[in-house]
Amino acid sequence: MASYNKVVLMGNATRDPEVRQTNSGKTVANLTLAVNKKTGGEETVAFVDVTLWERTAEIAQQYITKGSNLLIEGELVQDPWEQDGQKRSKLKVNAHRMVMVGKKEAEPVAAATRADDSPF
């Protein structure tokens, strides 16, 4: 049986990206994207954790701030951890591509793709 894992989201960053270096020296950035949905007269918001890598993470650190409007393409990944002896996990998006959609005054518009340019 075949499977396919691709996610495309557009929303606003809820905070500035948290950027760090991995032990192997790769740059990684984490942010949360607020994605709004209107159904009838009601609006709901989904908060999605997103991980950006390498050059995309560096661009995010330089240009993304709370409220930035972003288009994210990537794949769903399971993020497991253990807390108080309990195994836990959550779904998050491992971004392959980020596009800054809207811009604040004096904010340049840029796009980034992952280094290996794979089509997913």
pTM attached to this predicted model: 0.79
pLDDT in tens, 90-107: 999 999 999 998 765 444
> Is residue 30 within 8 Å of residue 50, measured between CB atoms?
yes
* Span 56-83, average pLDDT: 94
Q: What's 48's DSSP letter?
A: E
Distance CA 52, CA 54 (A): 7
